[in-house]
Amino acid sequence: MDFAPSSSTAALVGDVRSGAPAYLPPTDPVLMKLMVTGPFGVGKTTFVRTLSEIPTLHTEETMTAAGAPVDDISRTPGKTATTVAVDFGRLTLTGGEFVLYLFGTPGQRRFLPLWEDLARGALGALVLVDTRRLADAFDAMDLVEEAGLPYTVAVNRFPDTPPIALDAVRAALDLDPATPLVEVDAREREGCVDALIALTEHVLDRLPQETAP
Amino acid sequence: MSTPPRRRLVPAYLATHGRTAAAGTHGLDRLSVLHAAADLPAGLGGEHRQLWELVRPGALTLAEAAAHLRLPVSATVFIAADLAERGALSVRAPIPSAQPVNRDLAERLLSGLRALK
């Protein structure tokens, strides 16, 4: 029997909550992934939304076992899995040569199993920090380091953030001198682009030199 | 009766025909590029049809497809693998030439980012 190509595609597409899908450009782009992580409420979703050319999407990721002892499951006996929403967006570069995906992922230690899965194949990570609670950033930095990803730390400047010198942040976070530290306002595109540039430069620094011809 | 949060009507484990173990997932991951390649084979409906229809007009990554279909990534991997096995879906790796990230790619990415300013 024939399958009639009909208007069902449009109906389906119109029905999904996330809006019409933005298809990839027909240029066979190279797809790359950067992680945007950090403590709860630090501005990861905002950062991704600021840069993404599509309305940000999210997937629900199931995390079993390792997260369970930490989460409060007392009111849901028998619950063995935690669901975490991961936000992501994308950015087309160089007329469709690249499509860069930004994955905003929770930076708490208990998300380690999910983190390893999400970060596979990622180029690097941007760790967002809030200077009012710098210590919360350590988990995220640990996760990134364990995943072996090069990273850059970005202080997200909130309207009520007291001024603090980047040197002091660097010292408080005990950052490796080679790890870039930048300042952003996650709502402002220009600074977010700068943060990605700093991260990509750092990724490049860490890639082995090709042998000279 | 209480009203729990609205969730998908078909649980994810049914969408995958009850499979939970990875078997022939074609190395699919979140950034695998999916595009419908042929007619939908007879006997595949439900989520398989939805995924196939979604990537018929153009290509999407697996993560984007999962988000649009409101399916967990893990379930979407199985569904995509089923379709790929039957030739109904073309799948390509995130980097078309399957090369690892090298300096050349990273440098081109960097100039692409600089061009945004």
- Domain positions in chain A are 26-206
Q: Is B41 on the interface with A (CB under 8 A)?
A: no
Q: Locate the chain B residue with the closest alpha carbon to A60.
A: B72
Question: What are the sequence ranges of the domains in chain B?
Answer: 12-114
**Which of B30, B40, B48, B61 is the mutation pick for testing A, counting most A CBs within 10 A?**
B30
Read off the pTM.
0.83
Identify the closest residue of chain B to A17 by CA–CA distance. B68
Compare CB distances from A193 to B39, B60, B116 and report the shortest one's residue.
B116
Axis-axis angle for helices A166-173, A137-146 (nearest 10): 60
**CATH number assigned to the domain covering A26-206:** 3.40.50.300
* Contact by Cβ (8 Å): A43, A102: no
Share of chain B above pLDDT 70, in %: 76
- Mean local confidence (pLDDT), B11-38: 70
CA A195 – CA B20 distance, rounded (Å): 39
Residue B23: burial class (beta carbons within 10 Å; 0-12, 13-18, 19+) = exposed
Task: Give the residue-averaged pLDDT of B6-24.
Answer: 51
At A155, which amino acid appears? V
pLDDT in tens, A93-147: 999 999 999 999 999 888 888 888 899 889 999 999 999 999 999 999 999 999 9
Asked if residue B55 lies in contact with residue B36, where contact means CB atoms within 8 angstroms, the answer is yes
Using a CB-CB cut-off of 8 Å, the residues of chain A touching B95 are: 30-32
A106: three-class secondary structure by DSSP: strand
- Chain B CB contacts of A98 below 8 Å: 108-109, 112
CB pairs under 8 A between A and B: 133
Max CA distance (Å), chain B: 60
Q: List all residues 6 or more positions away from B96 whose beta carbon is below 8 Å from its beta carbon.
A: A28, A30
Name every chain A residue with its beta carbon within 8 A of the beta carbon of B43: none
Cβ atoms of A73 and A19 within 8 Å: the answer is: no
Q: How confident is the model at residue B97 (pLDDT cuts 50, 70, 90)?
A: confident
Residues 53-82 of B with CB under 8 A from A: 53-54, 56-61, 63-64, 66-70, 72-74
A169: left (phi over 0), alpha (psi -120 to 50) or beta: alpha
User: How far is the first Cα of chain B from the last one, in angstroms, to the nearest whole number?
Assistant: 55
